[in-house]
Amino acid sequence: MNKLVEVRLLGPFEVLAGGQPANVGGGKRRGLLALLALRCGRVVGVDSLIDALWADDLPAAPRNAVQHHVARLRAALGSEAIAATPDGYALAHAAVDALRFEDLLHEARDALRAGDAVAGAESVARGLELWRGPALHGLTDTAWFGAEARRLESLRVDALEEQFEAALVLGEHRDVVPALGTALEENPFRERLWGQLMLALYRSGRQPDALEAFREARRVFSEELALEPGPELRRLQDAILSHDPAIAPLPAPRRRRGTLPAPSTSFVDREEALAQVLALVREHRLVTLTGLPGVGKSRLALEAARSVEHEFADGAWFVDLARAGGEDDVVRLVAHAVDVRGADPLARVVGRLRDADAILWLDGCGRVVGEAARVASAVVAGCPDVRVLTTSREVLHVPGEVRVMVEPFRVPDPGRSDGVDSPAVQLFVERARAARPGFELTAEAAPLVAKISRHVDGLPLAIELAAARAHALGLVEILSVVEHRLELLGDVPASDANRASLQALVEWCYDVLHEDEKSLLHKVAVHRGGASVPSLVAAAASDGLDEPTVTYLLGVLVDKSILAVSFPAEGARYDMLETVREYALERLAESGRLAAARRAHAESIAALAEAARAELRGADWRAWVRRLELENDNVWAALTYARDARESGIAARLAALAWYFVLAERVAEGRRFLERALAATSGDLTVAERLELHAFRCYLATEELDLDTAIEIGERALAGEATEAAVPELGLVEAALGLAVAEAGDVERGAALAGRGYARLDAGENHWESAAASLFCAQVAAAAGDVATVAAMAAEARRHAQATGFDAFLVPAMLLEAWVAERRHDSSAATVAYRRTLDLAGRIGFADHAAFALSGLASSALAGGDVTQAEELERRALATAEAARASWAAAHARVELGRILAAAGDAKTAAKLYRTVLAWSKARRAHGPRESLFVVLSQDPAAAAAVGLAGLGDGRDEITAATAPA
């Protein structure tokens, strides 16, 4: 059976057969294979081969020479590698990096044309990663190869331009400026690169530099080519000079496609197992890797996912279920990984992946096998093009599941003295070199390493733990410890021998720790999703460890491979393998200190929540959101502890995080969190705290357009806990309820409630609460068309927000001010206000508000008669809203885009957009989008008839009857 042939042409020429380097000879033979590879699957005539290989410098018998080289290539690659036909030769099946690159470039262009910049960016990035140097480097230097090399190099620059284009759409303008400069140094005559540099500089707030780039482009074209810049570049210069909103920056949308973790170690000699997994993943919908702890299931799964990720249009999604505190956390982690929000998260996960072509990798299912099986089953049933790859200590028992038993490494035969070719020995050597640079497998060392590998039964994790001690112990000492530990285990059943070996190594690594190191390890073990240095310093204070000691001990534990460290921008975080965590928790439980450790952890998170409450309402709110997102798993772990241990006080303190879930756009997750926190409290919340909690619950339900629930929450709160002793919080509930009632269609009652709530709050110095309530009032007034009240309330929101430094409230206030100017027919003021809103929304990452601002600018452009610019701006608004999963903003953008297209004469597309919004709004009781749509339709009878709503009046009276939910 022939092995897969891989030909690499984007850099130094390389050939692999079956994953191993193949020697195919040099000179013309390499050129012949390269030529066939570039035409892989197609027959290349002998005359064409001769012309490309030799041009005018022909050998005596060129056809015989070609035949000879083909025969030698077959000998090196397999008899069936090159097919012969009467018309010529063909490389039958091969992986060719140059062809893969061209495919990925086409994918990127298609994605960008379709408006999916995330997919485009990832496709082109995968393509550019294939380049290792100049194309066709070192191959035959005939005219044909020269032309082909130039073609490929030109495509590489095309790919760079597409990469920059995607980055600009994704809001990464600052990041690409240096790379654009480098690209222009190498390709100074590419006008598109100059335009991209100008746009990136302008969007980075560097207008003078952007204009200077245009002048430099003009100089280069004039001096080198005797040409002037083209019309596109000149139009861009004009747009920069006039601050055209069409080129304003956008907040970066969330990346929606899957990403895999980077491997922390090399992949050692498991090609056969990898090939088996790859074949099964390509053929079956659900593949589960099972095996003992420490056998390398996750590392094998990662390598498999990385190997086939490029074969799936939407890549591979990774979910680390080791972070789950219990079965309840599984769906939350999966939903967060695939970036979905909202009620019924599993249904939303399935909806998100229904049309995806991807791999979903659920890692570490063993502790939560029941819920993992439910997720896997739902995805397999509802997402036909998604492959599910799981790792678990046991099978999931899902129909259609295929199991792969991951075995330990092959160890050296006891009859051999060295075993240097054993993967177990290779792994030990590699990890020992990481612990002790300069470690070599000498003739004396090889038998010792072989014995160590045999004693731990080839378990990769056990080998790594043993090798990590090479920084402090010699091989003789490591072997002695391993032998002694296994002797202490006594006789164990053969089926448990591997597990016992790992247990012995983990126990050894634990027992050689000093007491302070063990104490700190226990503190890390009760965390979920990692621990920061400040949290560990606070936790270790009870054991008398100060900050310098804690930071020193963390370094020691990392050096001993007991802990792993990562470095997000917010600071180092420490975590451990699940096997080590389980052992540490077992030892904690044996000592009787586990409950106390978990309580201390929950207390520390509760203290963080209390500190965050005020900080999330001030100028540093963004930094606190980032910090809390890193601690999100710990927050849930603390709430789970509070519920299980009936620690009502801790649950009450954790409820202070309500505003975090709003700012982090974790609305559905926040609703679940607050429901559980409320259920776990029993009299520990004051009336004021409980009312504030109800206000947030009401608002979060409104954000999800679950208006019946929102209204029920607000009305119950007012009926059951209204008290003059809690005036600010009572006002917040009234204002939130007013917004929900207005969104449901009763604008008059909503305005009365919101106004009453604001009046209560404005009587005191409750700036944050007053800003929130004034925004609720303004939104309700906007729904009623009350321009004067919107103007007054927006001004109040701005005043209160500025008093606290909380710029997150400034964005909606500015957006409402722009709306007021538009309704007052002050187009100049409206345009300025929308631009300012767009700028601030972009800087703080409020994509939904940016979408509304773009819609406002589009409306201004349409009013000014510029239909083309209006359409471009509205399409940007729709793309921004969809990327942010902002359904309200997307519905509004569709209505406005339909209005613009209808004005341009495209009634068919406009009607399609209207029908989409109509169906969406019926399902969600979304009064606002319905009213916007009906107002537009009432002014366009033909469009109304096209969507089945002929005979509309002014668009308001018919809303309830015509679009009420079924």
Q: Residues 357-369: what's their mean pLDDT? A: 89
Of 151, 156, 152, 148, the C-alpha closest to 127 is 156
Say which amino acid occupies 667: V
Q: Residues 606-627: what's their mean pLDDT? A: 91
Q: Please, which residues bridge with residue 959 across strands?
A: none
State residue 657's pLDDT score: 93
Dihedral sign, Cα of residue 13, residue 17, residue 20, residue 21: negative
- pLDDT tens digits for range 93-129: 777 888 889 888 988 888 777 667 777 888 888 888 8
How far is Cα 911 from Cα 956, in angstroms, rounded to an integer?
19
Residues 6 or more apart in contact with residue 126 via CB below 8 angstroms: 104, 310
Enter the DSSP assignment of 221: I
State residue 594's pLDDT score: 92
Enter the DSSP assignment of 4: P
**CA-angle at 914, arms to 909 and 915, nearest 5°:** 100
Cα pseudo-dihedral 422, 426, 429, 431, rounded to 10: -130
- pLDDT tens digits for range 798-815: 998 888 888 889 999 999
Pairing status of strand 531-532 against strand 316-320: unpaired
Of 38-42, 313-317, 514-518, 898-902, the poorest mean pLDDT is in: 38-42
| Average pLDDT, rounded, for the chain | 82
Residue 347 confidence (pLDDT) above 80: yes
- pLDDT tens digits for range 738-788: 999 988 888 899 999 999 988 888 766 778 888 888 999 998 898 888 999
Which carries the bigger pLDDT value, residue 218 or residue 227?
218
State residue 196's pLDDT score: 93
Pairing status of strand 573-575 against strand 531-532: antiparallel
Contact 693/685 with Cβ under 8 angstroms?
yes
- pLDDT tens digits for range 920-954: 766 555 545 555 555 555 455 555 555 555 444 44
Phi/psi region, residue 255 (left: phi>0; alpha: psi -120 to 50; beta: rest), is beta
Alpha-helical runs (H) found in 722-786: 727-743, 747-762, 767-784
State residue 813's pLDDT score: 92
Tally of CA atoms within 13 A in the half-sphere of 254 that contains its CB: 19
Task: State phi, psi for 340 to the nearest 5 degrees.
Answer: -120, 150
Contact 552/569 with Cβ under 8 angstroms?
no
Residue 955 confidence (pLDDT) above 50: no
How far is Cα 774 from Cα 794, in angstroms, rounded to an integer?
7
Contact 859/885 with Cβ under 8 angstroms?
no
Residue 159 confidence (pLDDT) above 70: yes
Contact 44/90 with Cβ under 8 angstroms?
yes
State residue 712's pLDDT score: 94
Q: What is the pTM of this model?
A: 0.62
